[in-house]
Amino acid sequence: MDETDPSRTDETERLAAFVADLGLDDVPASAIEHGKRAIYDFVGVALYGSAHETGDRIAEYVDLAAPGDGATVLGRGTASPAGAALANGTFGHAVDYDDTFESIVIHPTGAVFPAALAAAEVADADGRVVLTGYLAGVETAYRIGHATYPAHYDHGWHSTGTIGTFGAAAAAASVLDADEDAIRRAFGVAASGSSALKKNFGSMTKPLHPGHAAQTGLRAAMLADSGFTADGSILGGEMGYGTVMTPDGSYDPGAITDGLGETWGVEDIGFKPYPSGVITHAAMEATRRIVEDEDLTPTDIERVVVTLDEAASEMLIHADPDDELQAKFSIEFCLAAVVRERTVGVHEFTDEYVTAPKTREVIALVERDFEPEIFGGQFAGYGARVVVETTDGAEYVEEERRAPGSPSNPVPDERLDAKFRECAGTVLPDDAVATVEDAIDRLEEPGSLSTLVNAVR
């Protein structure tokens, strides 16, 4: 029976059938290429994250608690499959530079790709299988995410960790070639392990969330594939995941089933031009345009006023950050860094830069404001308006309605390529960086996956 057959009234069943039946030939070329771009972007930021303090600490834990040679740890060697999934997912979000959906607040690849990669090494699968599993996992996260958004996120859950667990389970199950029944049970196992709280934003636990999701999803798929039991209709019903996780009763199973196999969530993925919370990016881009176009320096500026969607107040919880992790959720710091440097990358997000006296002076110039559903509240409320007032009385206004790097507001490939090389090049020599780029570009071809893992180890 076709997975999109409306006679399948159970959304868990229909989603599991989609994952079980999906082949790479079923996916449009545009979606495949966007998926490879997302994997490329993720591998770059994860390699950088592997050498970050957060990466060091999670790697130390994995070495103690989940060692082994069964799966690749990016930039670090090997571990058990579960340990590799945990480490790689955490590495990818260590500096908050990884991709995000445009229409919902989820970082999909950080949970999904590490699970697919670890499962591939368990099953001795090739790159084509990994790519298919990745696309299935992203679609799963996208659809369950939309079915529960925004109530689930607004209630305090970090959807990257919660919903990402289902995406990871789908990806791993697809790679393991699990059947529909096993995938339904994998979703059931995943539901009981799905967790992550937004209150941990600005700490090392936030990047742990996609790592936890990758590890938990992999575990769910492997257990279910071995015959482990769980409820096979976990998403729907009175006590189902959708109802439990949307306290206002807004869970929408149609967001899971409508158009399944016809539209592709992977094409909603955007790529970050700055290593901070995506809610800061429109304001950063608008500020960059003003200071570049008007050739302004910090001494020229009297005040910067930024207006964001009201929902951003729940994420931007560090007006006066003490370190680089808090700075990622400080609109004041993010705009201060742009005013100081114009071009902002990983090197500005350090404790030394955040606490530098010159940085603190510019932070004091930034004022925040919030507006309900700014620009209509579309695109997960990522838009911003920036007003820069100068010491000579001039005023400059810029609006950025959608996050730069998102599908509806893309940045040039050259900018993303530079990001990849900056990140990956901190860990790998230039020839290995080039090998990784080429292997991901040819991921569906024989031998590409082994080339990739050998280069990143």
pLDDT (tens digit per residue) in 319-350: 999 999 899 999 999 999 999 999 898 989 99
pLDDT category of residue 131 using cuts at 50, 70 and 90: very high
217 is a domain residue: yes
Q: Same structural domain for residues 304 and 185?
A: no
- Over its C-alpha atoms, the chain yields an Rg (Å, rounded) of 21
| Domain around 322 | 278-400
The fraction of the chain above a pLDDT of 90, given in percent, is 92
The domain total for the chain is 2
**Element containing residue 399 per DSSP (H, E):** strand 395-400
Q: What is the pLDDT of residue 2?
A: 44
Q: Does the pLDDT of residue 9 top 80, yes or no?
A: no
Tens of pLDDT along 214-267?
999 999 999 999 999 999 999 999 999 999 999 999 999 999 999 999 999 999
Q: What is the pLDDT of residue 380?
A: 76
Q: Does the pLDDT of residue 1 top 60, yes or no?
A: no
pLDDT category of residue 5 using cuts at 50, 70 and 90: low
438 is a domain residue: no
3 state SS of 317: coil
Q: Same structural domain for residues 229 and 343?
A: no
Q: Residues 24-28: what's their mean pLDDT?
A: 98
Q: Same structural domain for residues 126 and 62?
A: yes
Q: Does the pLDDT of residue 202 top 90, yes or no?
A: no
Q: Residues 410-438: what's their mean pLDDT?
A: 96
CATH for 380: 3.30.1330.120
Q: How far apart are CA 119 and CA 218, in angstroms?
A: 7
Q: Same structural domain for residues 101 and 221?
A: yes
Q: Residues 69-91: what's their mean pLDDT?
A: 98
Q: Which of 364, 380, 400 is the endpoint of a domain?
A: 400
Question: How many Cβ atoms from other residues are within 10 Å of residue 314's Cβ?
Answer: 15
Q: What is the pLDDT of residue 51?
A: 97
CATH for 118: 1.10.4100.10
Q: What is the pLDDT of residue 381?
A: 82
Q: Same structural domain for residues 374 and 234?
A: no
Q: Does the pLDDT of residue 108 top 50, yes or no?
A: yes
Question: How many Cβ atoms from other residues are within 10 Å of residue 292's Cβ?
Answer: 12
pLDDT category of residue 373 using cuts at 50, 70 and 90: confident
**CB neighbours of 375 closer than 8 A, spacing ≥ 6?**
383, 399, 401
Q: What is the pLDDT of residue 314?
A: 82
Q: Which of 270, 302, 321 is the endpoint of a domain?
A: 270
Q: What is the pLDDT of residue 3?
A: 44
- C-alpha 396: how far from its chain's center? 33
Q: Which of 360, 382, 400 is the endpoint of a domain?
A: 400
Q: Same structural domain for residues 254 and 296?
A: no
- Are 424 and 43 a contacting pair, CB within 8 Å? yes
Tens of pLDDT along 219-228?
999 999 999 9
Helix axes 430-441, 448-456, angle to 10 degrees: 150
Q: What is the pLDDT of residue 379?
A: 75
Q: Does the pLDDT of residue 105 top 50, yes or no?
A: yes
Q: Same structural domain for residues 266 and 303?
A: no
The fraction of the chain above a pLDDT of 70, given in percent, is 98
Q: What is the pLDDT of residue 8?
A: 52
Q: Same structural domain for residues 97 and 66?
A: yes
Q: Residues 303-320: what's their mean pLDDT?
A: 92
Q: Same structural domain for residues 334 and 205?
A: no
DSSP string, 330-393: -HHHHHHHHHHHSS--TTTSSHHHHH-HHHHHHHTTEEEEEETTGGGG-GGG--EEEEEEETTS
Q: Does the pLDDT of residue 7 top 70, yes or no?
A: no
Mean of pLDDT over the chain: 95
One-letter amino acid of 199 = K
Q: Does the pLDDT of residue 48 top 60, yes or no?
A: yes
